[in-house]
Structure 1
Amino acid sequence: MNANQSDVGAALGMQAVGRLLRPASIAIVGASPTPGALGASVLENLERNNYRGRIYLVNPKRDEIGGRPCAQSIGQLPEGIDVAVLAIPQPAVLEAVRELAARGTGAVVIFSAGFAEAGQHGITQQREIADIAAAAGMLVEGPNCLGCINYLDRVPLTFIETAVSEAQARHNRARPAIGILSQSGAMMAVLNTTLASRALPLSYAVSTGNEAASHLEDYLEFLLADAHTRVIAMIAEQFRDPARLLAAARRARESGKLLVLLHPGRSAAARESAATHTGAMAGDHAVMRTKVERAGIVIAHTLEELGDIAEIALRCAHLPARGAAIMGESGAFKALCLDLCEELGLELPLLDDAGAPALRAAMPPFVAVSNPLDLTAQGLVDPELYYRTLAALFEDDRVQAIVIGLIQTDSVTCAIKMPQILRAVRELRPHKMVVCAGLDEGASVPAGYIAQMRDLGIPYFPGTERALRAVARLSELGARDFGQAALVLAAPEERLPDGVVPEYLAKRFLAPFGVPFSRGALATNLDEALAIAQGIGYPVALKVQSAALSHKSDVGGVILGTNGEEALREAWAQLHDNVQRHAPDAVLDGVLIERMGGRGLEMIVGARHDPQWGPVMLVGFGGVAAEVMRDVRLLPHDLTRDAVVREIGRLKGAPLLSGYRGAPALDVEALAEVVMHLGALLQSQPGIREIDLNPVVVYPRGQGVLALDALMVTGTRPAVH
């Protein structure tokens, strides 16, 4: 993406997007009478959906198509048409865009591929399109897109066969709807079909393609302002303007709208890191996820999950915080749910006889009170069991979401169970999420029951695992702590050199910002080393200092536990011999002489200023195995101390911090303070690219932490798009 693209993306307003999605006039350049041709398909869609605006056709070889007159060229079109759809070959697109800009066209839809995805020539042409659009103030959707659909007013600007009846449009306008934004046209079409098949109201669907001169963020801001759209489902492989996306996400959260994102690329290798462990472990997708979740976006892992989360969020008036109950009719199903919920992190509050008296009273004595609940087959002889159980769960404040797993078998069993579920929700109107799912996908379930559930705000799924996964994602959102740390740091007293900063300089810089280090100093000769050791006390560590040696131990540049003057002399000689042998060209600043720290649990704390997404933090188990074990959490930079402590508690090895097998509990709060201080520092000093404290030794509670090594990388670099 070049500067012009970024500028035009920021400058596009609601009016420009509105002219595309709610056009009063449309031109089809490349109109055709041939069935199946792109231009013919667009016209058929508009006529099929009874488009009431003005339609202009352009075909140099036709005077009319289907009784509509044809202009011979773009130059014969009226000025100021809202949208022009280009159903023409790729080589003709650039000139057509230039001519449409000259006619004051509001927006252009480009179906053709063969631009930035096809090599340098295509990249050059796409940049020209962006330049033309920027100069004319014209929005361009695409190239390489499937167009867009306005489901509220029945305006399909796409060649995919689309039929929205007037009754469907009224349905879409009558209640909150889902908007769809996708960089992939194919995935937009798939998601449209998926959601429409569930009778979910839709507002708009937009495929942005290569995003030459409009970005997903432009359409997102339009949908946020649209009164009909409450949930926005997005499929994106990259974001052109992450800061703008995050600001939009925060506005969505504040206004009660939900953004759900499917972002392919979890398995892609991280971008080439700088010198630090943090850089190596904070891959593109992980950083993106950390930042967007902080802003309030829900991440879906699959296309199916994206649709399921969007459906629950739209149908259910009350989205849950943590705390779900599961109703089932099988002991084996109960065990399966326990396994899956542990994997998903879906919290199941403990329900037992003593703690849930209303639930105990609702069920026969031989049915155990538990979560998940196994109602057995008793509901077939006592159908009101479902009503009584739901009524008790509706009253339990620990339960925010209820997932009902039904063995449906046949229409008879459905007729026994489902009316009681419907009656409970209809009469009791719970302020909780209720989701129903079948265990036996493929069972014959009367459509009338599913329709009644949906009318009552109960999503229905043919599989329970899908339901639990979607509920888990939304429950996690409800449990997020959006509080921000209010830590303000003084300006640094010195300026660091660009590039890799040697440890001794990094420590001198970081110490005033709340990072505890061992006593020590830089020695440039043996006599200075002996004097420093005498002053701080033995035993000491010797660490070579050079911007060229970011990982000192790899070249034998670290010698630990040196105890006494003679040992120091020998260590000094050995260290320099090691470095000369492994890195003879390295320019040394000297050797850092430090007092050895006491033993404790080794952790890592990192900070990184991502060129796209901004500051992000990392905390986890450290030492030499940090990159191998990767037991780390990537965190937003502005979490409160309590939130950082909770995140540390989610590490796989967290029991080691809380007093494992009789060991003392460790000072996690002091570790969290270091994370907070580095986050505040990174936010205030964008010139710092990366900070790596590894290891940070954590001592018993009340005794603090000690950072034994520090590595920094400074200097700006261009954003990667």
Structure 2
Amino acid sequence: MEPVLYHKIDKIFNPKSIAVIGASSRRGQFSNTSVRRLARWSRKEHVYPINPSLEELYGLKCYKSIGEIGEKLDLAYICVGAAQVPAALEECIEAGVESCLIHSSGFSEAGEEGRRLEKEITRLAGASGVRFLGPNCLGIYNHRTGMLVDNADPKGGTAIVSSSGALTVLITKRGMERGIHFSKTASCGNQSDLSAIDLIEYLGEDPETTCIMIYMEGVGDGRRFLQVLRKVTPVKPVLIWKGGRTSAGSRAAASHSAALAGDTQIFEAAVRQSGAVLCSDLDELIDAGLAFQYMALPRGKNVAVVTGPGGPGVAAADACDDFLLACPPIGKASKDCLLEFIPDFASAANPVDLTTVSAAEPQLFSKTMDVLVKDSQLHMFLLISSEAQNLVDVILENKNKWEGRPFAVNILNLMASPQECAAVSKGLTEKGVAVFSSPRQAIKAFSHLSEYAVYLQKTADIEAECGETGEPDLRPVEEAGKIVAQAKADGRIMLTEQQSMELFAAYGIPVIPHGLAGTYEEGLQIAEKIGYPLAVKVSSPDIVHKTDVGGVCLNVRDAQELKSAFAQVTGRPLEFVPDARIEGVHLESMAKTQFELSAGMVRDPQFGPIVMFGLGGILIEALRDVTMRTAPLSKGEALEMIGSIRASSLLEGVRGMAPVDKEQLAQIVLGLAAMALDHREISEVDINPLAVTEQGVWAVDARIKIGE
């Protein structure tokens, strides 16, 4: 982060002196609560309430204005009415304050006058170099120093960045109840100056923060958001709960790629590719935060479940499958060890079912765990019991032997009261053991740990891969640039199929043998060159979906059929689009297709070029089996993308078909990404179908849109 910006944000979280402008004597008012808390802060002698009507507040001397203080202040907390904020900000600027926090509401969220006021304070700050958070924000808390909180937490390591003040408080309270120790908390408000992205970047460099939890609704600068995530996530986990996920639908567009790329899908693909962990709600966010605070990262995806009651163990095993983890059988050596001491009616499978008798013998849990943690084929461990204090004692006695491997506890409310269970959970979390309210929640938390561990390994692999790359080949850029320039000169929004095929070929994307014919005679010459049977398609910049207007003939087998097809595809479309410009016909070889894939690109207004891959043909919109990544992407990411479609087993070869060349598919995906990065004029690309044949993979149908 740029040092000056880091310094000014740090002044907000770690000020040596604070003025509260608009300090109120009315209990319940935000500014009153803030002064009350600051009066107990270790630096309370440098807290200055500003209110011309008060002499003192909570034992602190009050001042009529910030200029009266006579000390250069690090931070001003502005809590006056919206109309008074510009004047208050000007006073801060004159007094040499470098950072401000504007709690006041009534700005862009409140109508035209509020938008005018927000523009004014943004202009004032920009001209002076002052940086501020807000307006319309709850503000910040520094839990480690005790600033603006009731109790300091020197152990705090988890930070919160939230676009909602209410959820900032809720995440904090629920997290603390579960045993999460927080470092810093920030509510961003309208983000008219400092943004959530700025805060994430700052917290990524903050030595006191080890994990970042985020609640967000809007993204803002999508490309910078992803850049900051890619910078922070290799160093510390970032957990994101995104609000408003279901409000955005798919955009209506000419290409399948654009229609499939709904805003929510793009957001999720982009942030996962950037290493963030996505959570669907508050509970999942808290569970993930607890897991990252208390558990080591796993070295694989295998979970061992040790349970007293049998049913919850089965539920845990089912959850492993749901969340793409494994609950494999216990290996022979470990199983033989277990059989030496577990009861005859217990099971040494996985889950290791000790049966409810173990409630009276918690040492069985300890002995079982001692065996399992030595098994290198097991990576995560869940203990499920209806036992209370006896189990706690055993866990605390032995946790130092186990905590190098991620393990969690689920205490069932079967033989104890809710109060006893709560006390047990608190006793464990206070000693650094993660406790979850159900087996499923624990397994979901394990899946987040595993996802992040895989990302870190993938990041290391990508760095090694990038270190091996040479100078980029500029020839495709030049060739493709000429094609795009010609289309723009002709006033076209859509490239012709011939131009699209030429563009693909320039970027190493294999295209079906083809040719463009302006006359039937030219078509005969192309047919002799590429051979029958042929697909014959109308070539027109005004017709996108050729089949819908009778512009396609398939399986053309000889010269006579070619003549009829030529007449049909150049004449019939005019019945539907009378003003269409017909440039001729596009002829393609009819390769024997085993099945159809698709690939494409859309240029998202927030995240830039998004590359897609999935099933194709008529199934693309029915099944929507596609994956997405942001460009640029590495070969490893391209291969991962290809392998993550639900129908990936097709690529391995089924019913006698040979496996698909995934290296070739990866080159197609990388070619699309390079094309999008090289030519910003290209807004959409659609290859459907991408035909899988015995001879390889071919782009059969191509649509490329330029401009808006």
TM-score normalised by L of structure 2: 0.89
Give the distance between the partners of 1:612 and 1:25, measured in 2 at CA.
38
**Higher alpha-carbon deviation: 514-523 or 544-553:** 544-553
Residue matched to 1:515: 509
Q: Give the 3 Å change call, closer, same or farther, for CA 417–72 of structure 1 in structure 2.
A: closer
Per-residue deviation at 1:395? 1.0
Could you give the per-residue CA deviations for residues 375-418 of structure 1, whole angstroms, max 9, x where no partner exists?
Answer: 21242354332112111210111222111122x2xxxx324433
Alpha-carbon displacement from aligned partner over 1:195-247 (angstroms, at most 9, x marks no partner):
22234321111101110110112222322222221111111122333444334
Q: Find the residue that maps to 1:457 and give its secondary structure.
A: coil
Query: Which residue does 2:528 correspond to in 1?
Result: 534
More displaced 10-residue stretch of structure 1: 536-545 or 610-619? 610-619
Cross-structure match for 1:434: 407
Pairing partner for 2:439 from 451, 455, 464: 464
Query: Structure 1 residues 232-241 or 447-456, which shifts more?
Result: 447-456
CA contact (8 A) 2:294 2:434 kept: yes
DSSP-derived class of the 1:272 partner: coil
1:85 to 68, 72, 77: 77
1:491 to 472, 475, 480: 475
Whole-angstrom distance in 2 between the partners of 1:576 and 1:395: 73
Partner of 1:397: 376
Deviation at 1:320, TM superposition (A): 5.0
Mapped contact 1:607–1:691 kept (Cα < 8 A): yes
Matched, 1:590 2:577: no
Quote the RMSD (CA, aligned, Å).
2.8
Matched, 1:693 2:687: yes
Distance in 1 (alpha carbons) for counterparts of 2:362 and 2:58: 61
The answer to whether the Cα contact below 8 Å between 2:298 and 2:449 also exists between their aligned partners in 1 is yes
SS in structure 1 of the partner of residue 122 of structure 2: helix
Q: Describe how 1:310-329 pairs up with structure 2 within 5 A.
A: 310-329=289-308
> Residue 163 of structure 1 aligns with which residue?
150
- Change over 3 Å in CA distance of 1:18–1:465 after alignment to 2: same
Aligned residue in 1 for 2:393? 419
Give the aligned partner of residue 605 of structure 2: 611
Query: Which among 197, 200, 208 is matched to residue 228 of structure 1?
Result: 208
**Displacement of 1:189:** 0.7
How many angstroms apart in 1 are the aligned matches of 2:631 and 2:38?
49
Q: Which residue of 2 aligns with 1:3?
A: none
Q: 1:307 aligns with which of 273, 276, 286?
A: 286
**Partners of 2:394 and 2:497 in 1: CA distance:** 68
State the partner residue of 2:176.
196
Alignment of 1:90-129 (within 5 A): 90-129=82-121
Q: How big is each residue's C-alpha offset from its partner over 1:288-334, in whole Å with a ceiling of 9 and x where there is no partner?
A: 32232223221111111111111111112445542222222333323
Contact 2:534–2:587 (Cα < 8 Å) also in 1: yes
- Which residue does 2:228 correspond to in 1? 248
Shift of 1:651: 2.4
Counterpart AA for 2:159: G
| SS class of match (1:187) | helix
In the alignment, what sits opposite 1:289?
Answer: 268
Query: 1:460 Cα shift?
Result: 1.0
Q: State which of 634, 653, 656 in structure 1 corresponds to 2:628.
A: 634
CA pair 138-670 structure 1, distance change in 2 beyond 3 A:
same
- Superposed displacement of residue 117, structure 1: 2.4
SS of residue in 1 equivalent to 2:97: coil
Task: Find the aligned partners of 2:16 and 2:362 in 1 and give their Cα distance.
Answer: 56
**Residue segments in structure 2 that go unaligned for 5+ positions in a row:** none
Alignment partners' CA distance in 1, 2:629 and 2:646: 16
Kindly provide the CA deviation profile for residues 153-198 of structure 1, in whole angstroms up to 9, marking residues without a partner as x: 2211xxxxx411xxxx2xx32x451111111111111111112223
Kindly tell me: are residues 324 and 64 of structure 1, through their superposed partners in 2, closer, same or farther at Cα, counting changes over 3 Å? Answer: same
1:152 aligns with 2:126: no
Letter in 2 for 1:467: A
- Distance (Å, rounded) in 1 between the aligned partners of 2:256 and 2:373: 48
Tell me by how many angstroms 1:79 deviates.
6.8
Which residue does the alignment assign to 2:420?
A: 445
Task: Name the structure 2 match of 1:477.
Answer: 452
Worse overlay, 181-190 or 545-554: 545-554
Q: Secondary structure at the match of 2:535?
A: strand
CA distance in 1, matches of 2:366, 2:61: 64
- Quick check: 1:670 aligned with 2:654? no
1:6 is matched with none
Kindly provide the CA deviation profile for residues 635-680 of structure 1, in whole angstroms up to 9, marking residues without a partner as x. 3545555654444333222333333355544434432332233234
Per mean C-alpha deviation after superposition, the further-off stretch among 640-649 and 193-202 is 640-649
User: Structure 1 residue 345: deviation in Å?
Assistant: 1.5
Contact 2:256/2:621 (8 A) holds in 1: yes
**Structure 1 residue 505 and structure 2 residue 499: aligned?**
yes
Q: d(CA) in 2 for partners of 1:273 and 1:138?
A: 43
Q: Which residue of 2 aligns with 1:375?
A: 354
Determine the structure 1 residue equivalent to 2:543: 549
Does residue 571 of structure 2 align to residue 577 of structure 1?
A: yes
Structure 1: gaps spanning 5 or more residues: 1-8, 157-161
* Deviation per residue, 1:76-120 (Å, 9 max, x gap): 554742222222222222333233333322222222333222334
Letter in 1 for 2:672: L
CA distance in 2, matches of 1:628, 1:489: 38
Which residues of 2 match residues 263-278 of structure 1 at below 5 A? 263-270=242-249, 272=251, 274-278=253-257
Matched, 1:31 2:53: no
Counterpart pick for 2:188 among 208, 231, 236 = 208
Code of the aligned partner of 2:202: F
Secondary structure (helix, strand or coil) at the match of 2:9 reads: helix
Contact 1:668 1:698 in 2 (8 A): no
Give the TM-score, by structure 1 length.
Answer: 0.88
Q: 2:167 aligns with which of 179, 187, 190?
A: 187
Pairing partner for 1:623 from 617, 620, 623:
617
Q: Summarize deviations over 1:561-613 as a string: whole Å, max 9, x none.
A: 22222222222222233321222223334321112121211011123343332
Q: Single out whichever of 177-186 and 101-110 deviates more from structure 2.
A: 101-110
Number of matched residues? 687
Q: Secondary structure at the match of 2:87?
A: helix
Asked whether the equivalents of residues 35 and 57 of structure 2 are also in contact (C-alpha less than 8 Å), the reply is: no
Paired with 2:699 and 2:554, the residues of 1 have a C-alpha distance of 15
Q: Specify the alignment match of 1:159 in structure 2.
A: none
Distance 1:423 1:218, change over 3 A: same
Contact persistence 1:233–1:261 (CA under 8 A) = yes
**Which amino acid letter does the alignment assign opposite residue 383 of structure 1?**
P
CA contact (8 A) 2:596 2:690 kept: yes
Counterpart in 2 of 1:178? 158
Change in CA separation of 1:381 and 1:143 when aligned onto 2, cut-off 3 Å: closer
Change (3 A) 1:571 1:447: closer
Q: Please give the secondary structure, in 1, of the residue aligned with 2:104.
A: coil
Q: Deviations over 1:508-554 (max 9, x none)?
A: 01113221111111122333223322332222112223333333223
> How far off is 1:352 after superposition?
5.0
2:324 partner letter: G
Residue aligned with 2:183, SS: strand
- What is the distance in 2 between the residues matched to 1:448 and 1:287? 43
Q: Secondary structure of 2:644's partner?
A: coil
Contact 1:328 1:374 in 2 (8 A): yes
- Preserved contact between residue 248 and residue 264 of structure 2 (Cα < 8 Å): no
SS of the residue aligned with 1:348? coil
Measured against aligned partners, the alpha-carbon deviations of 1:29-74 in whole angstroms (never above 9, x if no partner) come to 2222222233322222212445424233333444555665544455
Aligned partners of 2:608 and 2:630 also within 8 Å = no
Rate the CA distance shift 1:544–1:420 in 2: closer, same or farther, 3 A: same
The AA in structure 2 aligned to 1:472 is S
Distance 1:115 1:122 in 2: 4
Whether the 8 Å contact between 1:425 and 1:456 is mirrored in structure 2 is no
